[in-house]
Amino acid sequence: MKNDNFYITTPIYYVNDKPHIGHAYTTILADVLARYHRLINVPTWFLTGTDEHGQKVQRAAEAAGMTPQQQADDTVGRFQALWQKLEVTNDDFIRTTEPRHQVVVQKILQELFDRDEIYRDEFEGWYCVTCERFYTEKDLVEGNCPEPGCGRAVERITEPNYFFRMSKYQQWLIDYIEANPTFIQPDFRRNETLGFLRKELTDLCISRPKSRMGWGIELPFDADFVTYVWFDALVNYISAAGYLSDDEQFASLWPATYHLIGKDILTTHTVYWPTMLKAMGLPMPQTVFAHGWWLVGRDKMSKTAGNVVNPMEFADQYGVDAFRYFLMAEMSLGQDASFTEEAFIRRYNTDLANDLGNMLSRVTKLIGSYFDGVIPTPQEPGEAEALLRDTTLKAAEALVSSVERMRPDQGLHGLSAVVREANRYMEVRQPWTLAKDEATHADAGTVLYYAAEALRIVSGMLYPVMPGKMSELRSALGLLPGAPVFADLHEWGLLKPGAPIQKMKILFPRIQVPKSNDKAAVATDKPKAKPAAKPAPQGVSMIEFTDFTKVKLRTARVLEAEKVEGADKLLRLQIDLGEEQRQIVAGVALHYAPEALVGKTIVVVANLKPATIRKVDSNGMLLAASSGDQLRLITVDGDMPAGSSVG
């Protein structure tokens, strides 16, 4: 990872309503990334906050029978309480109604106006209150707002306004994006912005007349107007960092390392914001990273649909750390992800209760029963011990790489594989049996030491995601609670033999899934007649069961996907099979875009002989169903860990 400053931001959130899971996800992601960088001693600054001006806030206040400032003060408390609840460690919280922000906005506006970067003109066009944006007739989609996820009715407006000369920077911005491929991530969002810029770029309306909407920062050069919300809101990233108020702090922080945003505000952050910065003469942020939406099934969460997840209630019900873990492990950054309570419970029970929590419980109970409650002294390791050690250290390195690549979900899946490997190691070595025989008692100590050491490293790597629960786990192993020393997580054998462990309650109590209301079948002792065997359909060749057992079908999670050069039908996939990662080539490019596959759990033939297709190595084959021109991937019903057996 880099050794310079790490400055990460979330969008500042509207205060027209209470926070939802989309707000929680972006903020927890920023917190996890900030915690990882603090862990490796990189100076880190994490900013979040609230956007408190604009027509949506004014209308929400009117509907609630209060002033816009009262609406903002009331709602901002919900965000601050939620971040405290979710253990978010932001270094600053900016409110756009604060004087420190408003002064900077007005200074910028005056400077740009004085340099003729802002001018007055008549505006006539369509306005979306929800997006707080103006559109021309050609922009509309079936007469409604064209923004993805909006589509609401627009209003016809004719009025004088002030405009920022955004269009003069169109070619500069295209050239900058093309010369700096990491500026907008993921790549397909970069292409989306470039596609937007291939059309004529108009100047940006940056004001609203007070006669229509008075809730905003007054223009310093015309008291009859307030600032357009985006020209106000985007400035928070530099006003909070000390621009025009603390030169030393600003020089140490800017440019930002990451602006984390949802894909619905891509244009504002990759077109409006960079042109504004260019006009101000400031450097660009290093990366604007747009993540996907949380869906319920295939539908976007919305108040209208009544499917919005309240993160406060969910964290109260199932635990903050488990909630944080699910969000980080479930979404592949850049792609949409589906949130259901069923999916949460499955991942919780599989990764946390059955694997991690059960592993800790077994290790501590056996050490307590057979080694007087202190860490045993390990003997010379065998092959099984060496495998567990190497697997654990490799996963720790992979997690570091995954954070650098903005794929923390991949790193978490690798740590889950370590815990599964440790549980398998325990099953094979059976320390509970070894400990009962004096001749093999020391061998049992070796097994338990190696299992506990794997937990030490895994818990340290998971600390930024689940700080509370991992502190408990580390305390159980006799370690100091709190953040671990990062360098210690890449060395094996640092648990001190003889150190006392602690008794503790179950780390992740299993969630009991409510039983179905369907009536159970009535049991009977009467033998059932065997149905007559049906003849095989004509033309179908029958195989023996032993032939079928030779085919090893496994679940696999798609980590990366890209087209094979020169082949219209082929995609190159990097997949996670639980214990290993592989590359396969699949002829599905006509039916699935590469980005649509990332994060999916598919079924593959895991023991197919390797092949070379179009000079690309393929080690396995995915399963799909086809009929005529249709093709659909074979998946499993619900979430299953990568590498699960199918059959």
> d(Cα 250, Cα 239) in Å, to the nearest integer?
9
> d(Cα 267, Cα 370) in Å, to the nearest integer?
62
> d(Cα 216, Cα 210) in Å, to the nearest integer?
9
The whole-number average pLDDT for the span 536-544 is: 55
What is the SS3 assignment for 646? strand
pLDDT range class, residue 574, cuts 50, 70, 90: confident
pLDDT in tens, 292-336: 988 876 666 665 556 667 888 889 999 999 999 999 999 998 888
pLDDT in tens, 506-519: 999 999 876 544 33
**What domains lie within the chain, and their CATH numbers?**
340-490 (1.10.730.10), 545-646 (2.40.50.140)
Q: CB-side exposure of 342: number of CA atoms within 13 Å? A: 9
Q: Look at residue 94 in the predicted model and tell me its pLDDT.
A: 98
241 versus 534: the higher-pLDDT residue is 241
296's enclosing H/E stretch is strand 294-296
Report for 317-321, 572-576, 580-584, 635-639: range of highest mean pLDDT: 317-321
pLDDT in tens, 393-425: 999 999 999 999 999 999 999 999 999 999 999
Q: Look at residue 28 in the predicted model and tell me its pLDDT.
A: 97
Q: Look at residue 125 in the predicted model and tell me its pLDDT.
A: 80
Burial class (CB in 10 A: 0-12, 13-18, 19+), 390: exposed
- In angstroms, the first-to-last Cα distance of the chain is 42
User: Which of 5-14, 114-123, 479-488, 492-501 has the weakest average pLDDT?
Assistant: 479-488
- In Å, how far are 425, 436, 448, 516 from 441, measured between CA atoms? 17, 7, 11, 46
Q: Look at residue 157 in the predicted model and tell me its pLDDT.
A: 84
pLDDT range class, residue 525, cuts 50, 70, 90: very low
Give the residue from 122, 430, 91, 366 showing the smallest Cα distance to 252: 91
Query: Quick check: pTM over 0.85?
Result: no
For residue 494, the 8-state DSSP code is -
Q: Would you say residue 537 has pLDDT above 90?
A: no
Q: CB-side exposure of 508: number of CA atoms within 13 Å? A: 28
Q: Look at residue 339 in the predicted model and tell me its pLDDT.
A: 87
> d(Cα 606, Cα 553) in Å, to the nearest integer?
6
User: Which of 74-88, 101-115, 136-150, 468-482 has the weakest average pLDDT?
Assistant: 136-150
573 versus 549: the higher-pLDDT residue is 573
CA dihedral 102, 106, 112, 114 (to 10 degrees): -170
Q: Per the structure block, which two tokens stand in for 601?
A: 């759990």
Q: CB-side exposure of 599: number of CA atoms within 13 Å? A: 19
Q: Which residues are registered as beta bridge partners of 164?
A: 118, 204
Kindly provide the b/e burial profile for residues 417-430, where b requires at least 16 CB atoms within 10 angstroms of the residue's own CB: bbbbbbbebbeebe
77's enclosing H/E stretch is helix 68-85
